[in-house]
């Protein structure tokens, strides 16, 4: 698989983005909040415990981390961990959340080309709202799918299927941008038209199931622009 974008053109109608690690540089904040939330249960959480599970719903990730660490926690204990993690994360977001450089411009370019935009994340909707407000992206997306909107999160197809239903578009008309294996698997399971991975949080070796890999956000913008430049009457900006 080539690292750079191919020149093949298909007229896509929507771009669907994961949030953490794609739109916003917030994966370090997720790691720190999980680490703190699990500490009271004497469970050590490491960066890759979180990064490789990125895309799962918050509750699912908490359960999976505890299970891998050999800790059998009750549903009530897991609920408290998730609540504490969410509280800590929202506090960190207010001080440290930022969008990746070029995100606002890229979203504007896509919007100017007539594309619909969706955000598909495993984060709780409350946290999504806090993040988007703090990085100046409130109202930037036509549809948002968060943890509460699905019964089964990534790597299952439900999150992306839900987003496409909200956009009223078929899978083949959509491009997905992801940064982690769970999200790529989810998009592929939903049979979206094209999946671009970006190496913001994980090395390219973890992202081989994607159709293209972008090494930077400027590279990502070129990948996205190449998907839509055949649209008649639209200007790439």
pLDDT by residue (tens digit) across 103-162? Answer: 999 999 889 888 999 999 999 899 999 999 999 999 999 999 999 999 999 999 999 999
Q: According to the model, what pLDDT value does residue 235 have?
A: 34
Burial 18-32 (b: 16+ CB within 10 A, else e): bbbbbbbbbbbbbbb
Q: Enumerate the domain spans of the chain.
A: 14-25+98-228, 27-96
Q: For residue 160, what are its two tokens? A: 């992306």
pLDDT of res. 2: 41
> Which of 8-12, 35-39, 55-59 is predicted least confidently?
8-12
65 token code pair: 């981390």
Residue 65 pLDDT greater than 90, yes or no? yes
Contacts of residue 163, defined as CB under 8 A and 6 or more positions apart, other chains included, come to: 16, 118, 120, 143, 145
> What pLDDT, on a 0 to 100 scale, did the predictor assign at position 188?
97
Q: Alpha-carbon distance 85 to 232, whole Å?
A: 47
Q: Which residues contact 70 (CB under 8 A, 6 or more apart)?
A: none
**197-228 pLDDT, tens digit each:** 999 999 999 999 999 999 877 778 777 777 76
Q: Please report which confidence band the pLDDT of residue 5 belongs to, taking 50, 70 and 90 as the band edges.
A: low
Class of 14-25+98-228 in CATH: alpha beta
**Given this model, what pLDDT does residue 216 score?**
78
Q: How confident is the model at residue 229 (pLDDT cuts 50, 70, 90)?
A: low
The answer to whether the 14-25+98-228 and 27-96 domains have the same CATH topology is no
What pLDDT, on a 0 to 100 scale, did the predictor assign at position 220? 80
pLDDT of residue 208: 96
Cα–Cα distance for residue pair 35/31, rounded to 1 Å: 6
Q: How confident is the model at residue 42 (pLDDT cuts 50, 70, 90)?
A: very high
Task: Between 145 and 72, name the one with better pLDDT.
Answer: 145
Q: Would you state the pLDDT for residue 222? A: 79
User: H helices within 41-167, ranges in order?
Assistant: 47-51, 58-68, 75-96, 103-112, 125-134, 158-167
Residue 146 burial (CB count, 10 A): 23
Burial class (CB in 10 A: 0-12, 13-18, 19+), 76: exposed
* β strands within the chain, DSSP E: 14-17, 116-120, 143-145, 174-178, 194-198, 212-214
Q: What is the pTM of this model?
A: 0.87
CATH of domain 27-96: 1.10.150.240
CB of 125 closer than 8 Å to CB of 149: yes
What pLDDT was estimated at residue 70?
92
* Residue showing tokens 């890229």: 106
The confidence score (pLDDT) of residue 135 equals: 96
Residues in the chain: 237
Question: Would you call 124 exposed, middle or buried from its count of C-beta atoms within 10 A (0-12, 13-18, 19+)?
Answer: buried
- 234 has pLDDT over 60: no
């Amino acid at each position: 698989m080539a690292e750079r974008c191919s020149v093949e053109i298909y007229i896509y109608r929507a771009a669907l983005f994961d949030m953490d690690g794609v739109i916003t540089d917030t994966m370090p904040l997720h790691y720190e909040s999980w680490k703190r939330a699990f500490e009271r249960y004497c469970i050590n959480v490491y960066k890759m415990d979180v990064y490789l599970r990125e895309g799962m719903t918050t509750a699912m990730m908490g359960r999976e981390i505890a299970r891998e660490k050999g800790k059998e926690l009750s549903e009530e204990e897991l609920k408290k961990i998730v609540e504490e993690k969410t509280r800590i994360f929202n506090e960190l977001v207010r001080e440290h959340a930022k969008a990746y450089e070029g995100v606002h411009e890229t979203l504007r370019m896509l919007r100017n080309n007539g594309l619909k935009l969706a955000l598909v994340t495993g984060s709780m909707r409350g946290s999504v709202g806090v993040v988007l407000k703090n990085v100046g992206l409130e109202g930037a997306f036509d549809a948002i799918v968060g943890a509460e909107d699905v019964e089964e999160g990534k790597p299952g197809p439900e999150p992306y299927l839900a987003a496409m239903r909200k956009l009223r578009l078929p899978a083949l008309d959509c491009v997905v941008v992801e940064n982690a294996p769970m999200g790529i698997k989810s998009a592929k399971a939903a049979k979206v038209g094209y999946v671009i991975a970006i190496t913001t949080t994980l090395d390219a070796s973890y992202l081989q199931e994607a159709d293209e890999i972008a090494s930077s956000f400027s590279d990502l913008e070129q990948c996205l622009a190449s998907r839509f430049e055949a649209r008649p009457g639209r200007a790439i900006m």
